Structure 1
Amino acid sequence: MIQNFSDFEYIIVDGNSTDKTVTIIKSFEPEFAAKNITFKFISEKDKGIYDAWNKGVAMADGKWISFLGSDDCYFPDALITYFEKISQLQNNENYISSQVHVVDENGNVMRTMGKAYQWKNMLKNMNIAQVGSFHKRELFQEIGPFSLEYRIVSDLDFYIRGKDYIKPYYFKEVTATMENNGVSNQINKALKEALKVRLKYNYDSKLTIYLNHYITFLKCYGGKIKKGAK
């Protein structure tokens, strides 16, 4: 709502919340209408975040699609920045990403993440900032929807499947924040799912896949072990 840009549609997919979520969502409708922003929402049972994202893609009318979780937030100039970058694309790029700040529950920046999409890197470590990045809608027709086989890393699966389709553009600016307490913060489960994804596509030898998995495990847990030992 605080974006310095209004030529976009805002879609909320709620998983049939039983608290006051729907009432809160509806309370924003007049503000969207006043700013001439297309606003859509549904509230129904889903099979997790990726099912919700697939529903959002089906509801979207725009040429470019982005995803935010409930604890993610764009900076005020994020959409106008993306719009300007998209307007300058010259090589038929269909995926554009930047950087995000990972913050704690008080909004303190813990780290900055986000590198350029490179398919080979997806086989080792998902180091792109998926939060807030933009996908041309045709990508979902070419690659297919997010798989419901995974609850935490289906975006990794999507970007690996996108090997022959994704034409990336990257700019090194921070455009959003994400809290460090979402589903993907379940590190152990995420690592197990990521290993399952990489073994499924078999782009490397099993030895290489397991070795990269172990290295990622050490990167994720090494800092915690050192911190706990102090």
Structure 2
Amino acid sequence: MSDRFTSAMEEIHNKQLKTYGEIIDATTELCQSHRQFVKSALDTCLKKCKDDEMLFETIQAFKRDLEQKNMLLKEKRHAISDMISAIQQKEVQKDDIIQKIEKLKDEQAKRKELIESQNKANKDRLRNLQKARLVFQDHLGMEIRTILGKTQLVKGEKLQFVFRNINPSNQDSAYIVTMGIKEDGSYQIVSSDPVLKCLPVLESRLQETNNLPAFLANVRKEFISLARC
């Protein structure tokens, strides 16, 4: 019985040792598997951290690039706004210049019309002077002189009409009326020698009728009346 008990105990002990060995082997395998899993997880975490760091750096680089682009865009917007303002200002200046050009064209056209009108009036006055010259100089002994006045009153080129054969006692005695033409083309009586009191009236009538021969005829009549007084 003792031998059997001992044998049974040894068998049970051997079985327990075998089971214990199997448990130790399984535990060892589990430890090795756990170490490998932990190492793999750690490697994965480290790789993930590096990837996250690279991603964070990339995001930061994108942010810096975006901020720089936003600054450039803001500067370009300011530049475009300034350019638009400059263009608008130039458009306003262009409109002003166009208006000034149109105004100058209108003024030039008016001046041209005025010059043409004055030229026509001057031609008419020249014809009147020629007629007066034929009537008075050739038939009545009138002399026409061109003078350059030295005083402020008669400054510029004037015409002197010298009448003779007025005074019966002295046929060569000269009776003179001096006149010119204003800027607007109208006649201007400067003086008469001797002085005719009615000369302003005759000048006003000349301005109305523009008939120089009739004016000279009336002046001659006034000189004759003055000489007979």
**Greater helix share, 1 or 2?**
2
**Greater strand share, 1 or 2?**
1
- Which TM class, normalised by the smaller chain length? under 0.3
Higher relative contact order, structure no. (Cα contacts within 8 Å, ≥ 6 residues apart): 1
TM-score (norm 2): 0.21
TM-score (norm 1): 0.21
**Greater gyration radius:** 2
